[in-house]
Amino acid sequence: MPSRRDLANAVRALSMDAVQQAKSGHPGAPMGLADIAQVLWNDFLKHNPADPDWVDRDRFVLSNGHGSMLLYALLHLSGYDLPIEELKKFRQLHSKTPGHPEKGYAPGVETTTGPLGQGLANAVGMAIAEKVLATDFNRPGHTIVDHYTYTIVGDGCLMEGISHEVCSLSGTLGLSKLIVIYDDNGISIDGEVHDWFNDNTSARFSAYGWQVLSDIDGHDSEAVVSAIMAAKADTARPSLICCKTVIGFGSPNKQGKESCHGAPLGADEITLTRKQLGWEYPPFEIPRDHYGGWDATERGAAFQKDWTEKMSLYKSEYPALHKEFERRMRGFLPPDFESEANSYIASCQFSMQKMASRKASQNALNAYGSILPELLGGSADLAGSNLTLWSGSKPISSGDGGGNYIHYGVREFGMSAIINGIALHGGFINYGGTFLMFMEYARNAVRMAALMKINSIFVYTHDSIGLGEDGPTHQPVEQLTALRATPNLHTWRPCDNTETAVCWKLAIQRTDGPSALIFSRQGLEPMKRSTSQVDEISRGGYILQDCTNPRAIIIATGSEVELAVNAADELAKNGIHVRVVSLPCAELFDIQDEDYREFVLPSHISSRIAVEASHPDFWRKYVGLKGSVVGMSSFGESAPGPMVMDHFGFSVKNVVAEVLEVVH
């Protein structure tokens, strides 16, 4: 039987060979982490290669995603459906082994990592999900949710500010099933990190309320075993295991140096490394007994069989809970959700209440939350402004995981990446709120949600210069454009209570990507609609107010829809009839069939005006060369909201003038 070091060397060999064949990549981290990974995956990790989506598996996140060959080697050797041919195609087009781990390519990859620190944040979200699910479903004598989240981080992950945000919160919430292994190799791309990263990391995490296991030799398997056992023994705190490692371990001339961080070792150095490690096999060749030492299929089947038997007993004693658990982990909504949501939407249209869309959002949460036990929300210290708390909200805490609301504190980026981790874990419909302006702090997490096609819901209030007195630091201008430019993200800016109810319904139902819901601070007038118009909201854009032979079309979203309607009414008094189109979600409208899009925005009507208190460039594709946009080409001003809106041209008078300009 191969020794631990022999098994670890298989990871090292595959990593350096794949990077060399690709002519690019990061061999150093996988080679330095191989001994740790061998212990974790062979002695502790509860998983089943035959069923990568088994719900009670331990989660493993490689936060320093540039070391992706470590993960691919582990998956291949352990028995996942990742054949050696895919490792040979590392970093190549259409392979299952892209340069950084990407969710949905290779089985067993839990999340997309690469932007440093976000994998750690995702892991925090997974640990939160486990804690809440365990409280919701475990019963005395029946522990059906019981898994750990392990993540490996590097110096870069801990330098990123997001690591502070999420690790501080983790300690506060007492996420005892989160175990973080710090690859303390002292090297980054630019060289030895002591000149720019000299933190007392142990003291830092102790201050967060973590258990810290310091100065562990990452190449001493027994020391790693002891450290992980100690981490698992602490049932009150998350654990950080600080492992001293040598980057590029085994490379005679490059180990411990930045030269092995982000470039192939080179053919000559690989030859020397093979000799140094005692690895006598050619590239991509792993001996049968080494595969046998790594293969986790039998062990994984036993893990899952044991859990299945527990579930059978659980089903017998708690049939309703078992059914609910199965529903939630499969991602199915309650069977009556569609009808209940439609009834609520109809009631919104019937009531014709004026309100800020942030308040309409809270009302929607009250309506949907009562029938969605999987709803898990939160806000970045703005619950009273975002109105993300609803009547059934109960905060989770260190001592009580039985809640459905997270007070994230002033941690917009951390919150957004944690939300992604919760979505990846499964079992929840989750959302988090902040001001639209502060989306900027979290921009990359929103992008990652879109990249992974996960159902994260980002709630953004105070959506324009209309928020008023807080001024241009808080008034978004270009943020809607950035969100709408993000592939696979649905960005909603509803104009009233009804559109808000619809956007929440569709965001909840969406299974192939995230949604950004944009809400106002100021009150919005309800719009008159027929039943068919209400139905058409879900198509992303529709004719809100029409006329015979319109001379122009006004397109608007959010608070500016009321302005567009009022301008159309004023124009009609002068014999100029225009159509008003509400376009709350352009991404949905753009994927409608051509006939419908032509019906709403007929090509023969070239006189078009878009009205939105945001950057104008997005709207050029709808108004064309002859059209006009009433938008924001500058930052805002500090003054009462109506005064600011009027100052920047968001008035009936100005919109009428713009329409007259394009029709003449």
Cβ density class 83-104: b for 16+ within 10 Å, e for less? eeebbbbbbeeebbbbbbbbbe
Question: Cβ distance 397 to 559 under 8 Å?
Answer: no
**To the nearest 10°, the Cα dihedral for 538, 542, 545, 549?**
-160
Residues 10, 6: Cα–Cα separation, whole Å: 7
β-pair partners for 427: none
Q: Is 133 left (phi over 0), alpha (psi -120 to 50) or beta?
A: alpha
Q: Across 149-255, where does the E strand assignment appear?
A: 149-153, 178-184, 187-188, 191-192, 211-217, 239-244
Pairing of the two strands 355-356 and 523-524: antiparallel
Closest CA to 76 of 48, 106, 105: 106
CA dist 84 to 9, 14, 66, 107, 110, Å?
Answer: 16, 9, 20, 14, 20
Let me know the angle formed at the C-alpha of 354 by 352 and 359, rounded to the nearest 5 degrees: 110
**562 and 495 Cβ atoms separated by less than 8 Å:** yes
What's the rounded Cα separation, in Å, for the pair 340 and 425? Answer: 27
Contact 646, 589 (CB under 8 A): no
Q: Amino acid identity, residue 582?
A: S
* Residues 544, 157: Cα–Cα separation, whole Å: 49
| Residues 33-64 as b or e (16 or more Cβ within 10 Å = b) | bbbbbbbbbbebbbbbbbebebbbbbbbbbbb
Query: Residues near 183 by Cβ (< 8 Å), separated by ≥ 6?
Result: 29, 32, 33, 36, 64, 152, 153, 154, 155, 218, 243, 245
DSSP string across 144-161 = -----EEEEE-HHHHHSH
Q: Distance (Å, rounded) from C-alpha 77 to C-alpha 479? A: 45
Closest C-alpha among 252, 235, 221, 302 to residue 51? 302
186-215: b or e for each residue (b if 16 or more CB lie within 10 Å)? bbbeeeebeeeeeeebbebbbebbbbbbbe
In this structure, the chain runs to a length of 664
Task: Please give the backbone phi and psi of residue 630, each rounded to the nearest 5 degrees, phi first.
Answer: -95, 100
Q: For 195, which DSSP code?
A: G
Q: How many CB atoms lie within 10 A of CB 326?
A: 13
Active site residues: 412
Dihedral sign for Cα 159, 164, 170, 172, please. Answer: positive
Alpha helices in 352-477 (DSSP H): 357-369, 383-386, 412-425, 439-452
